[in-house]
Chain A
Amino acid sequence: MLETSAVQVIARGTDVAFVIDESAPFDVVAAELREHLSKKSGLWSKGDITVNVGQRMLARDELAQVKSIIETHSGLTVTRFWCSPESLGSGDFQIEAKAAPMPEPVHTVAKPEVKQAEEPIAHNQIVLPASSSEEAPLTSASSITAIESIIEGLKARHNKNGVRNRNITEALFIKSTFRSGETLEHAGDVVVLADVNPGAEIRADGDIVVLGSLKGWVHAGASGDTKAVIIALELPSARFQIAKYPGTAPASARRKSNTSASGPKIAYVRSRSIHVAPYAGRFARYNKGVPYDG
């Protein structure tokens, strides 16, 4: 173990880990990392390395800089970046953002003998394409755009599959009537403990639950989650949306919405259109839904 404040090298069997102080600013970390690698340059054999950035938010040039430091001062090639699901799941993987004020420790795990891409790619993993030349240009635009495009692809994959970490953003509770002209956007689930009146709008990335009468316009799964649902004790609203699918009450349902067919309702996406069924518990199978396709 080396005596340094910011960067420590720990050997674990064949693996070597750089543990970087969480409170250290990026500049210090970069300088010390460079120093370590150049001092012990004979120690590093050729191989691939995975960089885990933890919860630290790195700007894209900082990411490229880390890659460049490791690759210039050792024979290692950075093939993957790991980031914690917390920074990805909510869709705010801020590759553009500056380092967070109190970043988590950055672990750099070198596995010199491990070959690349043996394991399946995890959802929070960024695999860099193998660079054509062995000596990759370090801060080149191509490597930056490569990282960016991978992140974009990753985000798209998230949204398409509706994968999200429901625990990240807490549900928002609204405890008074949500009135005409009031709007709300929330990154998680929304629970309204009152009515949602006509003319009100709610957009939520998660589910929307209304313990009252839902008469306004709501959009569940606004960031593309087709598994999001809308649940309301009464659902007279004829128009709402889940993910990209708009729902419009069929003319017959609209006519009788004032009289019969009352009771809790759930709206969900089934075969690319919105269906509404009487609500009977979260995990029940809803087969008798009425398609809300106008």
Chain B
Amino acid sequence: MTGKTIVITSGKGGVGKTTATANIGTALAMRGNRVVVVDTDIGLRNLDVIMGLENRIVYDLVNVIEGVCKLNQAMISDKHDYELYLIPAAQTRDKNSIEPEQLREMCVELEKEFDYVLIDCPAGIEQGFKNATSAAQEAIIVTTPEVSAIRDADRIIGLLESSGLHNPKLIINRIAPEMVKRGDMMDQKDVESLLAVEVIGLVPADEQTVVAANRGIPVVHNAKSSAGGAFMRIAARVDGEDIPLMDLEPKNGLLSRFKGMVGMSGRAYSHA
């Protein structure tokens, strides 16, 4: 079996890389794939918390790379019945503890066993970013419809292309459909035209995402949540299904409809 290694990155911190990794990983596993998620944010680990596996950590990524333990000893099985494993980051070390080649070697080993190896990339463009991206064959970039996040995503796309990772896919996270409708937030077209990459998913801002993260149960387990549905569709697209992007419509309450009618179509943001 030869799987794919996909890095999930963003440049800017706090746009939802870790949430996206946990949810796409879980969703891919729910679709019947064998999935391992690797947290490379050494020193600032939190993928384990989002997935609710914090208490099960014995060994971590740095232990594997330094040869302290075997690869399968560091793999933590998910609480649910899916073929989903986590390799957590070390919390007491830093990004310079591992080299890009070492992570690459480890991912080659994992690819033999798994369909998908998802790498949760740390924020920034330094050593941690280089480690995470050097191991991957594909990249998913997470951004939010904010100028700062888009600027960083632009930089990241440039860096990925210069290191040979072409055609990254884009997830636009935390879209507030009402704000888009009012013209207070960039919509998909604005982001797409600026970054000129393929959009693989639109994730609406959803309270349930935060609730799920706090509980340690990725939001894809919640069938009713809009963000969970969005991540399920993203996983399907990663898995090769051709699902068209859904228009994110605001909930059609009387008030929001009224606001939409009077709302100005003017744009309150600047692209520059």
Contact = CB atoms under 8 A, between A and B. Distances in A.
B194 A197 contact: yes
Contacts of A182: 158, 162
A199 B151 contact: yes
B158 A181 contact: yes
- Which of B159, B161, B270, B272 lies at the interface centre, i.e. has the most chain A CB atoms within 10 A of its CB? B272
A179 B271 contact: no
Contacts of B158: 179-182
Contacts of A181: 154-155, 158-159
B267 interface: yes
Given A177-B196, A180-B158, A181-B159, A258 B271 contact: yes
A237 B272 contact: yes
Interface size class of B (residues with CB under 8 A): 10 to 19
B155 A199 contact: yes
Interface residues of A, number: 18
Interface string A150-189: 0000000000000000000000000011011110000000
Contacts of A258: 267, 270-271
A192 to B, nearest CB: 12
Nearest to A215: B272
A43 B159 CA distance: 69
Interface in B196-232: 196
Given A176-B161, A177-B196, A215 B271 contact: yes
A180 B154 contact: yes
Given A215-B272, A238-B272, A179 B155 contact: yes
A197 B161 contact: no
A53 interface: no
Interface of B: 151-152, 154-155, 157-159, 161-162, 194-196, 267, 270-272
Given A182-B158, A197-B154, 9 more contacts: A180-B152, A180-B154, A180-B155, A181-B158, A181-B159, A195-B194, A236-B272, A237-B272, A259-B267
Instruction: Pick the 7 closest A-B CB pairs, nearest first.
Output: A179-B158, A180-B155, A180-B154, A181-B155, A177-B196, A179-B154, A197-B154
Interface of A: 176-177, 179-182, 194-195, 197-199, 215, 236-238, 257-259
